[in-house]
Homo-oligomer: A and B are copies of this chain.
């Protein structure tokens, strides 16, 4: 079957969805087709919650309403080739579809390390963004008493906490000294780890997995320190790899980390072909170095930039590099980071100072489920610009992390912060006289 579209988007997760919607709503007269593999697409960041809080993965589906209402045509199919000369894609379903502009948003898949002996045993899982696979995993959980999660990044931590909520015994193995060690400095990571332990997760940090053992199916994991942990199942959350094979096979350049090479307008080396999201190359906002950070929120920003610039380029609407704005939640506590941590700033050779303040996220501190609130800022000594910040707090820590994200994106300096205005309310925020973000800026300014 042959078809024709103006704009073709491959991939239906965060980047594909936003690319298609942005394209269609900005170029109303263009036909937009989105081809995705999945009948139902999982909300990527919501996946850990299908293991505990949510009743089923059906509660974690990315709605199609936005696409449909705008008039984007959705096809459930798998693209198997891109012919960039003829500007045509072919699919498993036998479709040949020609395009004027192509956006590749093929995402990423979980790393399953080849070196890890036993990783092919039964009851060893990863966390792909695949509803059928995940539903099977969830249904198997009932038969397990003890699950071992390997890798304590955001997904590993969230999955562990959720499995624990469901009453499973959970061991979480992390080779770094602390959980979330790549995202947070030790001061925050240690607090997160301590809370996760208090909640009953058996956190084993500073030790790596050597082998998964069992006959046919998992029976235990062997750690680098010789310990052997009996377990019914293993979930590997050891990072993700970009899905770039399709692009690579069509002659699109791939970088040394396996991502599709793009410029600040998300253009690949081939005219009229764009890439966005986990599969697209990222550069760090502060260092401009190649980055491997994959975030749904960054994916959405990239998709928006790609789609806005398909037919009319705007120099003020280009992507300025990945900042890395994360947050997570463990019990009543939340943790967020935007931009560089102290460790990253050190490693990258920035000349910087830090400032930190611990307060409370209500005023007075008796109101409305108060929570300790800590803010730590990383400030360039050269120019006073805010390079990064971390937050520990309650539910509002997520948006407070976004405050720091916008301070970084706005190029604001420590002086800007010291004279800045904030809005405060007793039931909602810290006190204006002891607002941790501003107090952290004060502390940093004294170190300058």
Chain A interface (Cβ within 8 Å of chain B)?
14, 17-18, 21-22, 25-26, 43, 45-46, 48-49, 53-54, 59-62, 66, 295-301, 304-305, 308, 314, 316-320, 322-323, 325-329, 334, 336, 338, 363-364, 366-368, 394-403, 405-407, 409-413, 415-416, 418-429, 431-435, 438, 442, 446
Contact = CB atoms under 8 A, between A and B. Distances in A.
A18 B425 contact: no
Contacts of A329: 368, 425, 427-428
B402 A363 contact: no
Given A308-B418, A419-B320, A54 B300 contact: no
Contact of A398 (B14, B402, B421, B423): B423
Contacts of A415: 314, 316-317
A394 to B, nearest CB: 8
A423 to B, nearest CB: 3
Given A336-B423, A402-B400, A418 B45 contact: no
Given A301-B419, A396-B396, A399-B400, 19 more contacts: A22-B442, A26-B446, A43-B364, A46-B364, A46-B367, A53-B368, A295-B432, A297-B421, A300-B432, A304-B419, A334-B428, A368-B395, A395-B396, A396-B398, A398-B423, A398-B424, A398-B427, A409-B410, A410-B412
A333 to B, nearest CB: 11
A150 B325 CA distance: 44
A303 to B, nearest CB: 9
